Structure 1
Amino acid sequence: MTAAGAAVSEFGNALSLLVLLFWATPISSLLVAAVLVAELLPFVLGAPLAGLLVDRLPNRRLLIIALLCQGVAIAAIAPLMGQPVFVVALVFASGCGRAIAQPCISALVPHIAGEENSTRAYALLGTTRSVGNIAGVTGGALLAGFFGHPAAMLIDGCTFLAYAVLLAFVRSERRPSGEHSERPSAMAGIRHVRRDSVLFAAILGLACFVGATVVINVADPAFVRFVLHGNEFLLGAMQACWMVGILFGNRVAARLVSASQLAQALAITGMTTGVAVLIPATFPFVAAAVIGWFIGGVSNGVDNVAMNAIVRSRTPEQMRGRAFAAVGSMVTGANLVGTAAAGGLLLVMGPRAVFAVGGTGAFVAGAVCLVFVRRALKREESPAVAELSSN
């Protein structure tokens, strides 16, 4: 039920994002960036509060409430698409619900699937989300083309309602235990990530290459429109190639077991993502873009599963909500910076050049991350050596 609901919800997310990006592109690249920033900002600003809520309230019920809030906000965009300010404000409101929903489902998965099957469960969840995304960017383009942008937003609002209804049939629940006064503060998740050298190196590296790569989200519509001379159908097809790649990446990541494998996989995917973005930047043809986006999708699938799995494996159960929220805030914060920077970059250079900048940055960040992850793993395996070297 949870995986099916996630697929339905991701269908709506992909549909609405495709519609909003193509709606905003002719108006201004800054509006494209504003829509993406509004979606991401709540993850950064609200991470401590979101994590605290996840570690204090029954997760399934909290997730249902967050989904209903998202659905109302997205549906309300439909009659207001002539007012960009209101659209951005409602996207921000939807992002607030999503900022709670993301750590909520990540913390809930081990209770549904069992601790020993969590990595496979994260991979399954990622797979169903990818299927929903593929349907959203392909079928969504058709829906938007035939019925118009407002109708597509209403459909997206209904997908959140469908997800909430499916969750009502799930019996598993994560009920945080202990008195509130006994639990760590809202900032405990951030402190936990910072103290774990392997986790911190992996997540910091992930955040850096995400921040570099995310510039393509803003440049992608302009790249399709002005470089490849395509329309929303080509944009949807390219995004579908990325999602198909995620399906393969999820299967690869499901086989990762140890923290060493998970941490190094996160670093390596930064490098492969950089290569994926550089391919269409170097060869501005549809075929090259398809190949690059498939490779990027595989990398994305691996790092999504590996991120959840390594946080779960290295975090005590009672504070996983705050840890997932802290990691989400780091990655989304980098995403936010990259998104904001992309709007400015598009004003001074073309989308192809923006792709080149993003791909190079991701590759370098991934390579540096791999070095620091391996050093952290070596220190962890040989604490005596690390202590001698520090003296």
Structure 2
Amino acid sequence: MAVLAAGLAVTQPVLAALVPAMVRAADLPRASALNQTAGTLGALAGPALAGVLVGEFGARLPLLVDAGSYLALVAAGLLIRTRRGGSRRADPAATGPGTATTGWRLRRDPLLVVMVGTLAAVIGAVGAINVIEVFFIRETLGSSTTVYGVVTGAWTLGIVLGGWLFARLARRLVDDGALLGAGLALLGGCCLAVLASAAVPSAALLVPIWLLGGVANGGDNVFNNLLLARRVPEASRGRAFAVFGAAVQGAGMAGFLVGGLLLELAEPRPLVAGCGVAGLLVVAAVAVPVRRAVRAERAAVARPDDRGPAVDRVAAAELATPTPSR
């Protein structure tokens, strides 16, 4: 499992970096939503297919099918045609104060530092819900495994819907500061959904609440991917997505650990409420540094000696102007 995860630590940033390289700037929000939908549907279909195969054939066949799926990923990678060398049009989607074509570092971009730090902090505060939810739904609310699957699937479905819903809005948010602020608001929506779920008397009421939470989650994912693609030079995007993924995964691991420890001390319902409150407190705490980073970003763009990046930002805005819907 560790070797497999090490491989995914390479392939996932690579695939994430390929998306903005393969589509126009104006189509990036929709492409991000499409990529997220494919991954989410796969995450939904995989366990269901595994359950059927294990029930019919045992564990060996599903593992072989899973291995085949990774080989299929290798084949798909070989089919992707990329250009190497030669002259290429400048990438207007990755121009911002402090960005450069070489030597990119996350710490040099305050807006991205705040984005990654905010998301990691919120996931760390709320992440315990991933452990607690099993006991909350199955034991506290007395639900069956089927109902548990429906409830957790509601959040996943919401992620898909949120990706497409907010992809339209993302095309209109040509200001990176506005994109960051909107993402913070959606993170607050996720935490609010977790807090509201602690008050339900039955699992059926969790479905609409978690559906809305998933919508906010999916929208925030699109905003984060778009912000990274806009501000990071193309040659450094793989590293940027790797840093971003490491922060998210590390915070998630901390949440799992905390969730397991807390279940030894308290009942699931108050812990669910505590996760929601903790997440909202983090969102409120980071609102000030987010506002400061946005102000600094806008001041840098407007500064006379930054005419180059400002002109490029206008070009990026023109490329991101919405086109008529399909």
Q: Verify same fold: TM over 0.5.
A: yes
CA drift of 1:197 comes to 1.7
Instruction: State the match for 2:123 in structure 1.
Output: 210
223, 236, 239: which one aligns with 1:306: 223
Letter in 2 for 1:120: R
CA drift of 1:153 comes to 4.1
SS class of match (2:79): coil
Instruction: Give the gaps of 5 or more residues in structure 1.
Output: 1-89, 178-182, 387-391
Give the RMSD, CA atoms, in angstroms. Answer: 2.8
- Asked whether the equivalents of residues 223 and 351 of structure 1 are also in contact (C-alpha less than 8 Å), the reply is yes
Instruction: State the match for 1:379 in structure 2.
Output: 296
68, 71, 74: which one aligns with 1:158: 68
- Asked whether the equivalents of residues 270 and 299 of structure 1 are also in contact (C-alpha less than 8 Å), the reply is yes
Query: Could you say if the C-alpha distance between residues 320 and 145 of structure 1 is closer, same or farther in structure 2, counting changes exceeding 3 Å?
Result: same
Q: What does the per-residue CA deviation read over 1:345-374, in whole Å, with 9 as the maximum and x for residues that have no partner? A: 111122223211211111222233333222
Instruction: State the match for 1:322 in structure 2.
Output: 239
Q: Relative contact order: is structure 1 or structure 2 higher (C-alpha 8 Å, sep ≥ 6)?
A: 2
Instruction: Give the gaps of 5 or more residues in structure 2.
Output: 88-100, 304-326
Letter in 2 for 1:374: R
TM-score normalised per structure 2:
0.78
User: Aligned partners of 1:94 and 1:231: how far apart in 2?
Assistant: 32
Q: Does 1:134 align with 2:44?
A: yes
329, 334, 354: which one aligns with 2:271: 354
Q: What does the per-residue CA deviation read over 1:291-322, in whole Å, with 9 as the maximum and x for residues that have no partner? A: 22212211211121111111111111221121
CA drift of 1:252 comes to 2.6
Instruction: State the match for 1:242 in structure 2.
Output: 155
Query: Could you say if the C-alpha distance between residues 354 and 161 of structure 1 is closer, same or farther in structure 2, counting changes exceeding 3 Å?
Result: farther
- Asked whether the equivalents of residues 155 and 214 of structure 2 are also in contact (C-alpha less than 8 Å), the reply is yes
Correspondences of 1:190-339 after superposition (within 5 Å): 192-255=105-168, 256=170, 257-258=173-174, 259-339=176-256
Query: Could you say if the C-alpha distance between residues 173 and 221 of structure 1 is closer, same or farther in structure 2, counting changes exceeding 3 Å?
Result: farther
24, 28, 43: which one aligns with 1:118: 28
CA drift of 1:262 comes to 2.1
Instruction: State the match for 1:37 in structure 2.
Output: none
Compare 199-208 and 224-233 and name the one that shifted more. 224-233
User: Aligned partners of 2:163 and 2:29: how far apart in 1?
Assistant: 10
CA drift of 1:205 comes to 1.0
SS class of match (1:102): helix
SS class of match (2:158): helix
Which structure has more helix as a fraction of its residues?
1
Query: Could you say if the C-alpha distance between residues 288 and 194 of structure 1 is closer, same or farther in structure 2, counting changes exceeding 3 Å?
Result: farther
User: Aligned partners of 1:352 and 1:213: how far apart in 2?
Assistant: 14
Query: Could you say if the C-alpha distance between residues 248 and 380 of structure 1 is closer, same or farther in structure 2, counting changes exceeding 3 Å?
Result: same
SS class of match (1:348): coil
Q: Percent same amino acid at aligned positions?
A: 33
TM-score normalised per structure 1:
0.66
SS class of match (1:168): helix
Query: Could you say if the C-alpha distance between residues 378 and 156 of structure 1 is closer, same or farther in structure 2, counting changes exceeding 3 Å?
Result: same
Q: What does the per-residue CA deviation read over 1:204-251, in whole Å, with 9 as the maximum and x for residues that have no partner? A: 111111112221111222223212333443332222211210111101
CA drift of 1:119 comes to 2.4
SS class of match (1:382): helix
User: Aligned partners of 1:376 and 1:100: how far apart in 2?
Assistant: 30
Instruction: State the match for 1:64 in structure 2.
Output: none
CA drift of 1:151 comes to 4.9
